Amino acid sequence: MRLTFLFVCLLPFVLSRHPNVLFLVVDDMRPQLGCFEGEDFPAHPHPQMHTPNIDALAARSLLLKRAHVQQAVCAPSRASVLTGRRPDTTRVHDFLHYWRETGGNFTTIPQYFKENGYKSVGMGKVFHPGHSSGQDDPISWSEKYFHADNSHWESRMHNTWLAVNDSEAEQFPLEDMQLAAHAKQTLKRLTNETQPFFLAVGFHRPHLPFVVPQRFFDLYPQEKVSLPSNPNAPIGMPEIAWADNGELRQYKDMRNGKWYGAINDTLPDEVTLNLRRAYYSAISYTDSLIGDVLSTLDDLGLRDDTIISFWADHGWQLGEHGKWSKSSNFELATHAPMMVSVPGMTDHGVVTEALTEFVDLFPSLVELTGLPAIPLCQQNSSNVLVCHEGCSFVPLITDPKRNWKRAVYSQYPRMYISGDVIMGYAMRTQEHRYTEWLTYDAGTYTPTANIHSRELYDHVIDPDENVNRVNYPEYASIVKELHSVLHAGWRKALPPNI
């Protein structure tokens, strides 16, 4: 089966069945991949990355080089991507709330495919597990959800990283190794099904702790790893923009009573270098497992019948600005890899620099598979089961340089001891990142007009976001314009004629 743009429009009528979907998800992966080398690559310096399998997939995909998540932390981001709605609509800004209880009984991507004739199978970390997804959102799947048994390794995951002896990893496979093996077995089983399949595989790395076989550490010799070029917080950054590196500080090797994650409280150089090396190793480890799954897809002769979606739930900071992890509105937190491989349409690779958002994935996959189109959500969609708050990026396959979104939007909450909530609304345009921290009404899930702080980073001269220029007189007119665009909202930033 070779898909063309015409066939996508006529799929239900000319094909015996819809194409399969392999839905690959990774955790905490910034676009530190070979296929992103260039101006969209994370802050330098960096070693040569070893990601041959993801790079090969990108070479056969629509590579969305400037895709941004809607909130840079696991549960809210995944709830947003998988429902196609923004965090203020899902009402998921943390790990405590489940969108079906707080936002509405919204249909998810795998659920929509299941309800339209697909066998929907999930494994690993697709939704954030636990209450924020109602325990992996059972209604989304056609069969029992799979999680790997990680009991052998749990007692050794108290530090931020561990280089695992390769022979021990073979005897006691790591969580993601088990996941890849189960994905391969599932692909073989699904080959015999009469239904098309939607197979979602969610890898846990490169999330902390970086527990990775030694051979992947060997790809990054210590002398090839460098310190970040910008270890201090941005000049003029408002304090509210900062997160205290709490995720990293929970690990035993970080609890030395000397580092509290405060602004400009940087880690020792040796610790920073070790963490960066371990993170790179975790990326290459994950790449190898993705390669194993894709090799099985090829061995089964399924590549030409299968759309492959690959995305990460958000980016990650590796000591840039003295910041670790995500949980912010900085570029390195919201910018994450996303690509879609469509047989017959992206075989030779398509790269776009258009600004896109992760809420765009739902309508795009629906269009590419020929399922009934889902509408754009109206202003109040809490009672609407199926709609989306993005736009399909399928037109970018045939015209990657076309006029597209004026801006893309992210947000992140902060809470004061007093109980007041401040929501940071960030907007990325072609040249700037602009953020307003607004007092937030947690009862109605809406911001007020009260501006607590603002940030402006000029990516033309400061791509690493080292200077907040919001109060510079020469930027006054730009700030005024960006304020208007931000408050006009995402609907006004959609592509023309969409």
Nearest to 70 by CA among 407, 482, 422: 407
- Whether the per-residue pLDDT at 14 is higher than 60: the answer is no
Quote the mean pLDDT of the chain.
Answer: 94
In the DSSP assignment, the letter for residue 255 is -
Nearest to 338 by CA among 364, 371, 374: 364
- Whether the per-residue pLDDT at 420 is higher than 90: the answer is no
How many Cβ atoms sit within 10 Å of the Cβ of residue 265? 13
* Model confidence band, residue 43 (pLDDT cutoffs 50, 70, 90): low
Cα 318–153–50 angle (5° rounding)?
40
Mean pLDDT over 317-324 rounds to: 96
Q: Quick one: pLDDT at residue 225?
A: 97
Q: Quick one: pLDDT at residue 41?
A: 73
Q: Quick one: pLDDT at residue 45?
A: 76
CA 100 to chain centre: 21
Mean pLDDT over 448-462 rounds to: 96
Give yes or no: 131 in active site.
no
In the structure encoding, which two tokens stand for residue 481, read together? 């314009």
Query: Which CATH number is 407-492 given?
Result: 3.30.1120
- CA separation (Å) from 165 to 151, 156, 272, 280? 17, 13, 23, 17
Q: Which residue has the tokens 């980073």?
A: 457
> Is residue 472 classed exposed, middle or buried when 0-12, 13-18 and 19+ CB atoms within 10 A define those classes?
middle
Catalytic residue among 93, 128, 314, 321: 128
Three-state DSSP at 164 gives: strand
Q: Quick one: pLDDT at residue 417?
A: 59
Please state the pTM of the whole predicted model.
0.95
Residues of the chain with CATH 3.30.1120: 407-492
Q: Quick one: pLDDT at residue 9?
A: 42
Amino acid at 208: L
Catalytic residue among 18, 68, 74, 321: 74
In the structure encoding, which two tokens stand for residue 149, read together? 């048994």
Alpha carbon distance 229, 367 (integer Å): 42
Three-state DSSP at 124 gives: strand
In the DSSP assignment, the letter for residue 326 is S
> Residue 219 half-sphere exposure, CB side, CA atoms within 13 Å?
22
Comparing 15-29, 98-112, 392-406, 448-462, the range with the smallest average pLDDT is: 15-29
Alpha carbon distance 21, 113 (integer Å): 9
Residues of the chain with CATH 3.40.720.10: 20-398
Give yes or no: 348 in active site.
no
The 10 Å CB-count burial string (b at 16+, else e) for 318-346 is bbbbbbbbbbbbbbbbbbbbbbbbbbebb
Mean pLDDT over 116-127 rounds to: 98
Enumerate residues 6+ apart whose C-beta is below 8 A from 124: 25, 146, 147, 148, 176, 179, 201, 202, 203, 204
Q: Quick one: pLDDT at residue 218?
A: 98
Nearest to 320 by CA among 249, 231, 244: 231
- Whether the per-residue pLDDT at 201 is higher than 60: the answer is yes
The 10 Å CB-count burial string (b at 16+, else e) for 360-394 is bbbbbbbbbbbbeebeebeeebeebebbbbbbbbb
Nearest to 63 by CA among 286, 495, 354: 354
pLDDT in tens, 324-355: 999 999 999 999 999 999 999 999 999 999 99
pLDDT in tens, 161-176: 999 999 999 999 999 9
- Whether the per-residue pLDDT at 262 is higher than 60: the answer is yes
Instruction: Find out whether the peptide bond into 221 is cis, omega within 30 degrees of 0.
Output: no
In CATH terms, the fold of domain 20-398 is: Alkaline Phosphatase, subunit A (3.40.720)
Mean pLDDT over 376-394 rounds to: 97
